[in-house]
């Protein structure tokens, strides 16, 4: 069955409510900006490329009913919508890229009537969605060349269908390798605290007939030391100009473990995830989330004594030295990253 994470349907943004998975596959229709903001914050829709699409559709949703007659007041309304959406989550570059694409499409057409700009914006959001479908397949095609028959791949979080429109980045590589007839096994790290690996990655891989095993995050070293992992592939939320990569918390530990065990560690991401304005990973904003996600969200009773301080960053940064290659839709990028990223990502 084909799954589509996000699309425009019935005058609304249609998404899968990912907080209900794997127990329930429920689509919801979002008709106002505040509900979308909340859905992004609560990770009903999540994953960098899906956030880019949500932001683009969100900009359209936010101005679709605008009564502004002249372009000037219309663009002011659009800027307010853009600022509001930009405050939903801080790390994924795609979210800001999606907003910026929409803003510049509007600005380029500022001499047109507000009604005409609305139509242009709708088309721009659709183009962003279509581009993600194409670029994920390009990542899959290029990345699959690195995968051998009978490989076992470890992944973290969810960089699959549910994090994109309908194919995935890291998991796109796995889907493509499988389509090519390679026999692939996957270990999916559960990804504490929000369990995207346990809840989402195993859900979609098993639906797609991929042999997947769930492991707790702290089992990765043991699996690697037993020789059970051939490659690690993770997604990315933001990649700095030097290749340092922010992705789900726990990715950095996997990269260190992979280096120790001499296992290739790959990042898979489309061009809009790169932020060439940021020199190194130190400048990537890291989201801090509600401590309750650690202490109680998935437990029947709180698991941490009341009053104990809780540290809950949603992402970490993997230094570029630990990354074997970055699989992008424009090509596979290898060291030296600074030079090669500049050449390949424009």
Chain residues that interact with ligand MRU, rule: CB under 6 A: 43, 46-49, 92, 157, 159, 163-164, 169, 196, 235-237, 247-248, 314
Q: Specify which residues 188 forms β-bridges with.
A: 155, 214
**Residue 278: which residues within 8 A CB-CB, separation 6 or more?**
238, 240, 241, 284
Report the Cα–Cα distance between both ends of the chain, in Å, rounded: 35
Give yes or no for a contact between 120 and 112, defined as CB atoms under 8 angstroms apart. yes
Give yes or no for a contact between 211 and 186, defined as CB atoms under 8 angstroms apart. yes
Cα–Cα distances (Å) from 276 to 3, 97, 212, 241, in that order, read 32, 12, 35, 5
What is the DSSP annotation of 130-151? HHHHHHHHHHHHHHHTTPPTT-
Give yes or no for a contact between 85 and 96, defined as CB atoms under 8 angstroms apart. no
Q: How far is the CB of 6 from ligand MRU (least distance, A)?
A: 13
Exposed/middle/buried for residue 7 (C-beta within 10 Å: 0-12, 13-18, 19+) = middle
Q: How far is the CB of 64 from ligand MRU (least distance, A)?
A: 25
Q: Locate tokens 């397949």: which residue?
A: 137
Cα–Cα distances (Å) from 240 to 165, 227, 250, in that order, read 24, 32, 18
Three-state DSSP at 212 gives strand
What is the DSSP annotation of 280-311? SGGGS---B--THHHHTTTSSS-SS-TT----
Residue of 179, 168, 108, 103 lying closest to 139 (CA atoms): 168
Give 157 or 210: the residue with its C-beta nearer to ligand MRU: 157
Exposed/middle/buried for residue 212 (C-beta within 10 Å: 0-12, 13-18, 19+) = buried
Q: In the complex, which residue's CB is closest to ligand MRU?
A: 235
Three-state DSSP at 226 gives coil
Give 163 or 257: the residue with its C-beta nearer to ligand MRU: 163
Q: How far is Cα of residue 55 from the mean position of the Cα atoms in its chain?
A: 13
User: Which amino acids are annotated catalytic?
Assistant: 237
Other C-beta atoms lying within 10 Å of the C-beta of residue 120: 15
């Amino acid at each position: 069955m084909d799954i589509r994470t996000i699309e425009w349907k019935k005058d609304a943004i249609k998404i899968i409510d990912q907080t209900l998975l794997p127990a329930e596959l429920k689509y919801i229709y979002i008709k106002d900006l505040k509900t979308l903001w909340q859905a992004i914050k609560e990770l009903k829709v999540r994953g960098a490329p899906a956030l880019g699409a949500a932001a683009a559709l969100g900009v359209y949703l936010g101005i679709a009913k605008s009564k502004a007659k002249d372009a000037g007041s219309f663009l002011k309304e659009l800027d307010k919508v853009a600022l509001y959406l930009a405050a939903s989550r801080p790390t994924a570059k795609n979210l800001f890229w999606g907003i910026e694409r929409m803003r510049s499409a509007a600005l380029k057409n500022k001499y047109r009537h507000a009604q005409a700009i609305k139509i242009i914006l709708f088309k721009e959001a659709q183009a962003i969605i279509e581009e993600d479908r194409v670029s994920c397949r390009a990542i899959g095609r290029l990345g699959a060349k690195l995968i051998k028959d009978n490989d076992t791949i470890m992944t973290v979080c969810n960089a699959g269908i549910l994090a994109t429109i309908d194919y995935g980045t890291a998991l796109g590589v796995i889907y493509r390798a499988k389509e090519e007839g390679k026999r692939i096994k996957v270990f999916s790290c559960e990804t504490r605290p929000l369990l995207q690996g346990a809840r989402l990655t195993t859900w979609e891989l098993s639906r797609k007939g991929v042999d997947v095993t769930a492991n707790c995050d702290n089992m990765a070293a043991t699996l690697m030391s037993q020789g059970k992992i051939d490659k690690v592939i993770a997604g990315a939320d933001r990649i700095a100009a030097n290749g340092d990569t922010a992705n789900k918390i726990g990715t950095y530990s996997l990269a260190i473990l992979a280096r120790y065990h001499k296992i290739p560690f790959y990042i898979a991401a489309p061009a809009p995830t790169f932020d060439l304005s940021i020199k190194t990973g130190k400048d990537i904003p890291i989201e801090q989330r509600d401590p309750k996600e650690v202490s109680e969200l998935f437990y029947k009773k709180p698991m941490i004594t009341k009053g104990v301080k809780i540290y809950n960053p949603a992402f970490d940064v993997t230094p570029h030295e630990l990354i074997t290659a970055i699989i992008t839709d424009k090509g596979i990028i290898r060291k030296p990253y600074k030079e090669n990223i500049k050449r390949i990502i424009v």
